[in-house]
Structure formats: structure tokens, C-alpha cells
Chains A and B, each alone.
Chain A
Amino acid sequence: MSTTVHVDLTVNGERREADVEARLLLVHWLRDELGLTGTHVGCDTTNCGACTVHMNGEAVKSCTLLTAQADAAEITTIEGLSAGDGLHPLQTAFMDKHGLQCGFCTPGMIMAAADLLARNPNPSDEEIRHGLEGNLCRCTGYHNIVEAVKAAVGEVVSA
């Protein structure tokens, strides 16, 4: 039953090797084995996006990926978003624009927004709203999340 799979991948710039249960979801490996608890589970059905991480530079929902599928990939979580000690411009913008309240959706929201800006460095309000529709927030009403992404636009481009 518990077939294991060997994975060899990079997480936040660090090489990781492990033998994992074939059925182990990436989010559970990140959280339970690596202690990267900034990535959250909110819904189990790929709707809420609280588990969003980057795989090879693209936003993915880590509750819908097996760890085995991430073999040889480069994974970035919220803990690794900012190089060095500083904050990523999106992190600063979420704080400045009050783009979070309980903070539970925030890591996934920031990872999704980073992917959005990577693909579309100068999005319209509508493009931001549609770009984030895979991430649910129950606290903010999205208004200040959109403001935060807008505020980060120039910063990310110039960064």
C-alpha cells in the first residue's frame, strides 16, 4: 500500500532528497516534513489557493500535486519568496495597503500575485481580479489585496 518514491528537488534554493509515500501531497510534505508551515491547507479541493507555491517559477496549488510530481523541480514557498533578509515588494505592499486580516490566505495570495505580475507586469484592475480568482479570502473583501498588487507593480518591475 505505502509505495515510496524517491524525490530530489530544490526547495527555496536548497536541495532536498527524500523517500516519500507515493500518495503524499506536496503541501503535506512541505508542511509536515520540511516545517514550511507558511503554506496552508484551506479547502482540499483546489478552490481556495491557500496552498499556492511556485513550481519552476509558476504558481501551483500544492494540495493538488503529489510530492512525487515535484521531483526535479524548483519549489518556492512564501518563506523563500524574498531573497535575503528583506521583504519582497508584494509583502511590503500587502502590509502597506492592509491587504490581510487573519493572514491565513495571505501566503497563497502573495504567491499567486507574484506569478500574476511575472506573467503580466502591468495588469489592469480587472486583470488583477481575474488573475487572483483562484485564491479565496474571507476577510478583506479583496479591495485592499487589489490595491496591494497595484502598489507592487512598479516595485516588482524595478526590482
Chain B
Amino acid sequence: MTTSVGTSMRRKEDPRMITGRARYTEDINLPGMLHAVVVRSPEAHAAITSIDTSAARERDGVIAVLTGEDMASDFAGPLPMVWAPPGVEIKTPEHWPLKRGQVKHVGDPVAVVVATTRHAAVDAAEDVIVDYEPRPAVVDPEAALEAGSPLVWEEFGTNKIHEWAIGGGDVDAGMAEAEVTVEHRFVNHRTSGAPIEPRCSIAEQRGDKLTLYSTTQIPHIARFVFSGMLGIPEDQLRVIAPDVGGGFGAKLQTYAEEALVLALAKRLGRPVKWVETRTEHMTTSHHGRDQVNYVTLGAKRDGTLTALKVRIIADLGAYQHLLTPFIPELGFPVMGGCYRIPNIDLHFTGVFTNKMATDAVRGAGRPEATYWIELTMDRLADDLGMDRLELRRKNFIPKEEFPFETALGIVYDSGDYHGSLDRLLEHFDLDEFRAEQARLRGEGVLRGVGFSTYVEVCGLAPSRAVGPQGVGLQAAFWESANVRVTPTGSAIVYTGTSPHGQGLDTSFAQIAGDILGIDPQNVDVHHGDTDQGTWGWDTYGSRSLAVGGEAIVRAAQRVQDKAKRICAALLEAAPEDIELSGGKYQVRGSPDRSMTMAEISGAAHIPPNELPADIEPGLEESAFYDPENFVFPFGAHACVVEVDAETGKVQVVRYLAVDDCGPAINPMLIDGQIHGGIVHAIGQALYEQVVYDEGGQLVTGTFVDYALPTAAEVPPFETDRTETPSPVNTLGVKGIGEAGTIAATPAVAAAVLDALRPLGVTELDMPMTPMRVWQAIQAAGNGGRPSAAPRDTEQSRSLDEQGKGSAGSGPAVPPEGGAA
């Protein structure tokens, strides 16, 4: 048997998925199951003056119609927010599954209808009459901070939620030392996670046991939270995440609807199912990003960076969801990028608006940071008259200096930033590109290139850094694994992580199989069921491999150690003389004296002779692993775009990515994560935006208006890797799930700006839709008049002004309906 780690083993998940035999939550139907539909606020901010449920109750098939008042006693506590940073007040309104008295954003749940069929529930929900007294709404976070702004929560007397700051060095001295400073305001606009599988939750009570099936990334955390909300012991709640159709952070949440179906199943004694519509997803599955960033970067004339000062205003929406106020801060460890910056000062302000809460969306705080770091480096290079890559090289932390402690006291584990940029340029001849670019400009073709040299922080997380004794999350972030070998030599691995597309059934089988000496095809990886294995902290923040994988290594190693002891006893050798080679446990130097794992495990379960007294029967071990540090993947990306000056349409024509996530477990899976991450970032840079109008109405309520990239908008990708092991874990691995999304947005944006440079366009906010690009070109062509393209969060702009058409799932259609 050859080693499986490092090979592109085909996925164990695929056979059921390609044949339609996967089981997603919505595929589950239970006997006697009822269907719940939520009645939601059409108002952005209003007092509820009355709710009339009588007509709805009269409908055929309706079992219950319940309001927030009706369900007030169903919950022992509200939906939680878990960040309590020492010494910082975070204004946190009570957040109940159904609202009483007031609604604070469009989609806020006010009642729930339960019926025997989904159709009956939808019909009855239409008949629930809610009267509202509208109140003034605020949707722009900077306007919300101004005196006299409408208040989202009167009781707080302000829309400011919290302030948090961190720094290192002496930023004033660093700025004084600077010979050149660049200042810029960046907008990281609001986006949606938008997995293709909408959310769905089903709850069932049998005896005193409740079971929740849910489209969640966090079954273990969900059990912890919902058992508390329901006031029941944790043993009475089982949470199962079946096959989950993508998460992207949107399913890293404890949602109102999950709490509702649990309470309803308990109350009604029958299973209850709720299925999210796409419009509900766009309205009430949490959003991401939505920050304004004021960035000042100082440098010497020779390009040496001296200081970085950043002020971040984060629009957090109306309520605090699980991690809402922490997400902007989550990027702080890498807010100095790949660069040696001796003095850093970061300041965060969270703001209430009458919008859905923001929370984690793929990258969560880090794509926002990379966007402004990288574009600020470009601006600085331009001001210095220096080559953009040369400026980066000059300030890269050199390979020899790792582990490197940044000005913020963060220790970057390992890196080779020069190496990844060099590798990128082996694939991309910049001189040749510039010559071609100039030639094409002569022909009226606008082509541009953008670079992103990024570092990200993942492998969440060392509990001491992130938990109560660190930045103050009321949680820990270790991971667990249980590895069991069956009597016939198959392995069952339970991981406390909860994958939803990452392919961990495969990569974890590879890791465990190699250590156990079992073919990975016979290693079955289980997850996402709180009653099945060890407690875990689930999947997000590119943690599953670097933390969960390491837990598997440790548990499997313990099983291997025990297998060696059993083998040694049976072969009458010393345990330290048993080695695993070619899938066999053999006596060192005597390969003819060997046993397979199946033979050893058989003996462990049904001993042929008496085993030594210190060897317990069975072959199963668990491990718990809390990392010593984060891991810091990095890389260099290049994006080439062409812009049609007539229509403003941007086409990505080439994309190259060199990423370093340490040694590959399965290179095929790494490439897949990178491809998907890049397209997510292209979507953010060019097409996707959650738009509210000035009254707080959601304009982008479906995929007709919220434009995900299709296959036709994106190029094939050229990927390569360097492998710099992390010293943090024994596999040397770093995460890769978010790297593409973190790296790619600035590369795309910089490429568009590079293409537009000959026209004098230097300012353009994302998403760089045809209308915005076209407006920027027109403005630049009109004597340098300020761009008509807006600079702020532009919630007030109409859909048409966004350049978004109604042309199906594709991205914005330019005014002339230009060719794709």
C-alpha cells in the first residue's frame, strides 16, 4: 500500500452526489411532519400595532399561528452573541426568534404559521394581518453615526455599537518619520454568502429527546446554544447536519428559524420543517462585509513602510447575531499584510442600521483587509514612482525571519513571500504583458493587470488567543477526533469539524489511513452529529484541516501505538521494534514477521490468545487538540482583465494563483478550494452587492438582482503552489478554504484600475459593474469632473443605477446589452 497523503485521491463523497442520492436537510421527511412558514416584516423600522391571525387560523390544514407574544415563554433566553471583549461595551439588544413590539429590518420575523402542508402554510401566512406604524430608518453607517440620525434602538441613544482598538509600536512617530503618506477611503460593500442550497431546519421530539436536522456548519455549537435557549439539558438535544449544500459562512449561525422549529416541535408534539426561500436567504440569512475603511500608510522615499493607521466603520445591521461585532476585527492579525510595518494603529467602530445583521461570509474580515492593504500598496507605489511589485518585495517579511512577530504582537508561523511572487512571475511575463498592453491600447483595447500578495490568518484557533482569556469570544476553538478500528480492519473516524463541500470525508480518510495502515477507501469519516462522536467546534475559518486534521493525526497515532503493542505481543517482539511499512505492521529487520491491521484489530476484539493485562480490548482512541498558534497561508495572485470602454463591461481574461498552504494532503481538493474562492472574490469585485434603498427596502431579493458569476463570466484558472510547512502542527498544514476569496478581490480591482489608467480613472468602488465603470470613464473624460460613480455605501442608489439588469442569472448587462 502506498502513501495516500499528497495524492489527488478521488472523493469518497462523490458517488452519492453525482447520482442524486445525497441527503440534504430538505430531502428529509418525517412521519406526521408539519410545515412552518414565517411571517416577516415588510417594513425596515416600525412599531407593530396589531397582529390579526384569525383568518389564517381558519384555513384548512392550519395547526397553529403564533406571534412573538404567544411564544414568549417558549424560550429561556434570546439568540446569543458571543463576543465579550474585556473592558469593551457592546450594545446588544435582545434578539428573539419572533419580534414583539417593534421590527428593525425588512424580513424581521413577526409570526409563524404551522400547517399540514407547505402550501397550506404559505397560503395562511398571506392571511396574517399585521399593522405597522413605520418609523424613520437609517441604512448608511456613516450617516447613522451623525447627530440627529434616526436611531435603530432608541434605548441606546446612539447607533454606535462599540469601539475596539489595537495597535503596536508608535504610529504617530512612524507617521512623523514618513516622507510620503497615502490616504484613501475604501468601501467593502455588503454581500451575501449565497450557498446554492437554501437553509432548512427540521425538528422532531420523541419522548424527551429533541432532534434538529439543519443546514448548519456548526451542529455542536447549535446544540450548546439551542439547549440553553430552550432551557433543556444538552443530552436532550441532538443536532444533525446531513449533507450540507455549501455554507460560505452563511450557515455559521444560530438562526431564529432553528429555534422556532425546535420550540414548535416541542409545543405541538409533531415534527416541524421550515424551508428557506431564496428571497428569505437574501433577506434574513446574515450578510457579510459592509465596511468603510479609512487607511493611511506612511513610507520613506525609498519605499520602506513606517506606519499604518486604519479606521474601520462596520455596518453591523440591526441585531447582534452570533459573531456579528467580531467579524471586522477577525482580520486584525494580518492587517499589516505580508509587510514589515513597525507601527500599526487599528480602530473599529460598529454601527446599527435598519438592515439584516452582518456576520461571517467566506474570509470574514480578511478579504476586507486584503482589499485595502493591497490597493493602498499600489497607490503608494504610484506616489513613489516605484514599481508596484518592487515596493512589495522591499517590504516583504524575509523568509529567514519566520516565525515573525508583527507590530501587533502576532507571530506569523512561516512564510516565503518572495518565493511565491517569484513563482507567480515564472508563469506570467510582466514585461511581455506590458508590451502587449501598450500595443492593445493603441488599438483601443483596454487591458490591465492587478496583483495581490496576501497573507491570511486561519486555523481558528488557539483558545487562549481567541477565547475568554484572549480577545474575548465566549468559546474555545480546539478540535477533537475519535478513531475506531472495527474487528475486520475498517476504520471509523469521527471529526468534531462539520464539512459541507470541502471533501474532508476524503482528505481525513487519507490522513487516518496512512497512519493506521488502512486503505483510505476503508476509512469512513463521520461528522455533523452531536450524538455520534466527540464534542467539536465545527467548520469555519479554514480550521478543519489545521486543527481538526491534527486531532485526527493524534488519535490515529494513539491507535497505531496500541496496534503496535498488540502486534508486538502476538509476534513476541518489543513494541518499539514494530514498524508500519507498506500497510503492514512488521518486526524491524524481519519483514516476514508481520501482521495487517485487520489481523491486529481482529485480535484486539476477539483475542486468539491472552493479551498482556495492560492492553485493554478494542481499538479506539480519541484526541483533543488546541493549537499553539494560528496558521498563516499566503501567496501571490495576478488577474488580467479587459474593459470595454463603450459599455463599461469588465471581462476577466486570465487569472493566475500561487498559493502556499503547506504540504498538500490532496492537491485536487486544494485547487478546487482556490478556484471557488477566486470566483467568489470575482463576484464581489465585479457583480455581487446586497442593495438596500434609502428607506431600508431590500432591492436585491433574488438571484435575478443579486448576480452570482456564471461559468461564462470567469476564465479557466492557472494554479501553482509552493509548500512552506507550518511549525504549528505535525502535518505542517495551513487552511485553504478562504484563501482564494481573501486574495483575489484586490487583484481583480487593481486590474480594472490598471486597464482604466490611460483614461485617467483612479477611483472606482466595488462592485465594478458596467454602469459604474462606464460612469467613471465618462467622468474622467469630462475634464476630471468628480466621478458620478458613488463613493459611499450607496444604499440610496436605485437598481438601474447599479447597472444591474434583469437578465436572468448573469451579471449586470451594460447599457448596450454588450456581448459577453
Contact = CB atoms under 8 A, between A and B. Distances in A.
A138 B10 contact: no
A156 to B, nearest CB: 15
A83 to B, nearest CB: 13
A3 interface: no
A106 B708 contact: no
Contact of A78 (B19, B245, B675): B19
B24 A40 contact: yes
B611 interface: no
Nearest to B714: A142
A133 B702 contact: no
A46 B808 CA distance: 8
Nearest to A130: B712
A141 interface: yes
Contacts of A48: 196, 278, 703, 809
Interface string B656-684: 00000000000011011011111110000
A50 interface: yes
Interface stretch (B423-431, B461-469, B497-505, B598-606): B497-505
Contacts of A87: 18-19
24 contacts: A32-B29, A38-B22, A39-B20, A42-B198, A43-B702, A45-B703, A48-B196, A94-B18, A95-B14, A98-B668, A102-B245, A103-B16, A103-B245, A104-B197, A106-B17, A130-B712, A133-B710, A134-B710, A138-B676, A141-B675, A141-B680, A141-B717, A142-B714, A143-B671
Interface string A82-116: 10000100010011101011111111001000000
A128 interface: yes
Contacts of B244: 102
Nearest to A91: B18
Closest 3 pairs between A and B when the two form their complex, measured CB to CB = A38-B20, A104-B245, A103-B17
Nearest to B708: A136
A52 to B, nearest CB: 12
Contact of A145 (B668, B711, B740): B711
Nearest to B197: A104
Contacts of B17: 100, 103, 106
B194 A78 contact: no
Nearest to B13: A103
Q: Please indicate which of the listed interface residues A21, A128, A142, A144 has the most CB atoms of chain B within 10 Å of its own CB.
A: A142
B294 to A, nearest CB: 32
Nearest to B27: A37
Q: Please indicate which of the listed interface residues B23, B27, B243, B672 has the most CB atoms of chain A within 10 Å of its own CB.
A: B672
A140 interface: yes
B284 to A, nearest CB: 15
A106 B18 contact: yes
Contact of A102 (B246, B678, B702): B246
Given A125-B716, A143-B675, A47 B704 contact: yes
A98 B20 contact: no
Given A39-B20, A48-B809, A103 B711 contact: no
Chain A at the B interface: mostly helix, strand, loop or mixed?
loop
Contacts of A82: 19
Interface residues of B, number: 62
Given A102-B245, A103-B245, 5 more contacts: A47-B704, A47-B808, A94-B18, A101-B676, A104-B196
B15 A138 contact: no
A25 to B, nearest CB: 10
Interface of A: 21, 23, 31-32, 36-50, 77-79, 82, 87, 91, 94-96, 98, 100-107, 110, 125, 128-130, 132-146
A128 B20 contact: no
A105 B708 CA distance: 14
A101 B20 contact: no
B618 interface: no
Interface string B717-732: 1000000000000000
A140 B18 contact: no
A87 B14 CA distance: 12
Contacts of B11: 95, 98, 100
A36 B20 contact: yes
A104 B197 CA distance: 6
B198 A41 contact: yes
B710 to A, nearest CB: 4
A38 B19 contact: yes
Contacts of A31: 27
Nearest to A97: B668
A84 B716 CA distance: 34
A107 B16 CA distance: 11
Nearest to B277: A44
B126 to A, nearest CB: 12
B615 interface: no
Q: Please indicate which of the listed interface residues B195, B196, B279, B672 has the most CB atoms of chain A within 10 Å of its own CB.
A: B196
B24 A143 contact: no
Interface string B187-231: 000000011111000000000000000000000000000000000
Nearest to A23: B119
B710 A136 contact: yes
A104 B248 CA distance: 14
B196 A50 contact: yes
A144 B672 contact: yes
B141 interface: no
A102 B279 contact: no
B536 interface: no
A144 B743 CA distance: 20
Nearest to B278: A43
Contacts of B18: 78, 87, 91, 94-95, 100, 103, 106-107, 110
Q: Please indicate which of the listed interface residues B11, B14, B502 has the most CB atoms of chain A within 10 Å of its own CB.
A: B14
B635 to A, nearest CB: 16
A108 B10 CA distance: 21
